[in-house]
Amino acid sequence: MEGKRGSECLLKPVSNIDFNPVLSDASMKTLSTRIVDLKKAKDEPLVRVYQEILEVVNKHFTLFDDKGFRANLNNFYEKFKTLPVTNVYSDTGKLVQRGQRETLNAILRGLHANMDAIKYTDKGTPLGKFQTLHGIQLAEGSVIQYTSPAGLKVKIVKLRDL
């Protein structure tokens, strides 16, 4: 360890881990686009963001197989494409139909590390609400990734090493 900087000593490289469940810059830009511009877009940018979320969830979020969360997200795709871009309200201000943008925000809040129990549809258990009688079963190769708030420091710990 002599001659190495402190940051090099803290983390040991972990092979066979490709963990970057982050949306692309294009998707992040789409989510921050003005509603007027989203409504004018012909190429359904919010549908592309949903597709990207599905890719990340299907690749990295095996824990979401519990209660069928992952399957529900995949099955909801066709319904998502038919939603309006933004929420639809009645004349009295009551929510009539949730829009694509708000649905994406709810899904992302449900997938976040400090997840809320979010319902993005009228059916089933809220996304991110894990309740089991016998604990959550994790795969043998599961890891915990500690990331600093700024994302500059990352530490990955294999569960079998704990």
Summarize pLDDT for 16-51 with one digit per residue, the tens. 444 455 788 888 888 888 888 878 877 788 899 999
Is residue 52 pLDDT above 60, yes or no? yes
Residues 77, 118, 66, 122, CA torsion sign: negative
Residue 70, pLDDT score: 85
Please report how many Cα atoms fall inside a 13 Å half-sphere around the Cα of residue 127, on the Cβ side. Answer: 27
Between 88 and 141, name the one with better pLDDT: 88
Question: Across the chain, what does the average pLDDT equal?
Answer: 76
Residue 120, pLDDT score: 62
Between 125 and 99, name the one with better pLDDT: 99
